[in-house]
C-alpha cells in the first residue's frame, strides 16, 4: 500500500444505520479509491463454511474476489469491514487482481457515512437497515 496516491482519511464511528460504520473525515471526489477490503484469502468452499457460522450471528464478512477466491474480513480485515450496506450507496467496489477497492460513487462530503451495495447471493435472512421501510434481505 506504500508508494501509491494518498488515500482519503476515514474513521470508524457509531452508525445510525447499524452498529459501527465508516465515515469520511474529508471530502472525497467521485471514483477515488478510498480503501481496500482486506481479509484472509480463502476458497469458496472454505468461505461457505465460515459464512454459515457468521450468518447465524447476523454478520457478513466474506467478500467474493473472483470465481476462485473470497476475502474473509473477520480474519485480517481492516476498517473497511465496518462499511455498512446500503441499497442506494455512495460507494462501489472494484476488483483489481486479488484486491477489492472501495471507491466513491459520487462526491462524498466530510462527515458522511460510507456505504456500498453488498450484492449478497446467500440465504437472504438479514433484514436490510439502510433506510426506514427498506424490505430487502441480505
Ligand atoms: Zn436497503
Q: Which residues pair with 79 in a beta bridge?
A: none
Asked if residue 76 lies in contact with residue 38, where contact means CB atoms within 8 angstroms, the answer is yes
- Ligand 1 center from residue 136 Cα (angstroms): 5
Predicted local distance difference test score (pLDDT) of residue 125 = 86
Q: CA 25 to CA 12: how far, in whole Å?
A: 10
Q: 10-35+76-116 — its CATH code?
A: 2.170.270.10
pLDDT reading at 11 higher than 80: yes
pLDDT band at 136 (very low <50, low <70, confident <90, very high): very high
- Ligand 1 center from residue 118 Cα (angstroms): 10
Question: Distance between alpha carbon 52 and the CA centroid of its chain, in Å?
Answer: 18
Q: What is the mean pLDDT of residues 2-27?
A: 91
Could you report the per-residue pLDDT of 58-111, keeping only the tens digit for each? Answer: 889 999 999 999 999 999 999 999 999 999 999 999 999 999 999 999 999 999
Predicted local distance difference test score (pLDDT) of residue 3 = 62
- Ligand 1 center from residue 2 Cα (angstroms): 35
Mean pLDDT over the full length of the chain: 94
- Ligand 1 center from residue 116 Cα (angstroms): 10
Could you report the per-residue pLDDT of 123-132, keeping only the tens digit for each? Answer: 788 899 999 9
Would you call 91 helix, strand, or coil by DSSP? strand
pLDDT reading at 2 higher than 70: no
Q: What ranges do the domains of the chain cover?
A: 10-35+76-116
pLDDT band at 32 (very low <50, low <70, confident <90, very high): very high
What is the sign, positive or negative, of the torsion defined by CA atoms of 39, 45, 59, 34?
positive
Amino acid at each position: 500500500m506504500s508508494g501509491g496516491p494518498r488515500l482519503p482519511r476515514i474513521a470508524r464511528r457509531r452508525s445510525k444505520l447499524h452498529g459501527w460504520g465508516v465515515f469520511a473525515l474529508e471530502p472525497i471526489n467521485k471514483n477515488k479509491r478510498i480503501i481496500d477490503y482486506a481479509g484472509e484469502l480463502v476458497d469458496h468452499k472454505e468461505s461457505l463454511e465460515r459464512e454459515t457460522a457468521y450468518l447465524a450471528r447476523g454478520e457478513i464478512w466474506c467478500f467474493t474476489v473472483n470465481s476462485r477466491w473470497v476475502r474473509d474480513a473477520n480474519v485480517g480485515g481492516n476498517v473497511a469491514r465496518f462499511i455498512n450496506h446500503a441499497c442506494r450507496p455512495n460507494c462501489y467496489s472494484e476488483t483489481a487482481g486479488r484486491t477489492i477497492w472501495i471507491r466513491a460513487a459520487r462526491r462524498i462530503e466530510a462527515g458522511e457515512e460510507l456505504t456500498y451495495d453488498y450484492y449478497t447471493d446467500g440465504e437472504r435472512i438479514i433484514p436490510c437497515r439502510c433506510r426506514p421501510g427498506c424490505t430487502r434481505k441480505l
